[in-house]
């Protein structure tokens, strides 16, 4: 479908506005449907609290850590915290 056909169907008269709407819609669809997902693994370092996130990251789907308390050493998802922690850390973060 061409831009002109979309403009006729939607009643938009400005070509620039129509193209901007189409670009916004495509960008929104790309964010909603993860088509190009990539798994990145980082090793945890003792006494290191913060890690750099790669520059191309748009959305983090899941964070997992190896749970050594189970028999299979499976990776367990770390739940997302919506609220501030009830107990402050000793380093003030």
| Tens-place pLDDT, residues 2-58 | 888 988 998 989 999 999 999 998 888 877 776 667 777 777 788 887 888 888 777
- At 22, phi and psi to the nearest 5? -65, -45
pLDDT of the residue at 20: 92
**At which residue do the structure tokens 């299979």 appear?**
72
pLDDT greater than 80 at residue 83: no
**At which residue do the structure tokens 């380093």 appear?**
91
Average pLDDT over residues 78-90: 75
What is the pTM for the complete model shown? Answer: 0.41
């Amino acid at each position: 479908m061409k831009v002109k056909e979309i403009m006729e169907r939607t009643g938009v008269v400005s070509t620039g506005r129509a193209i901007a709407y189409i670009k916004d819609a495509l960008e929104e669809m790309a964010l909603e449907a993860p088509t190009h997902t990539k798994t990145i693994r980082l090793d945890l370092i003792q006494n290191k609290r913060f890690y750099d996130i790669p520059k191309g990251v748009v959305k983090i789907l899941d964070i997992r850590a190896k749970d050594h308390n189970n028999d299979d050493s499976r990776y367990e998802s770390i739940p997302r915290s919506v609220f501030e922690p009830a107990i402050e850390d000793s380093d003030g973060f």
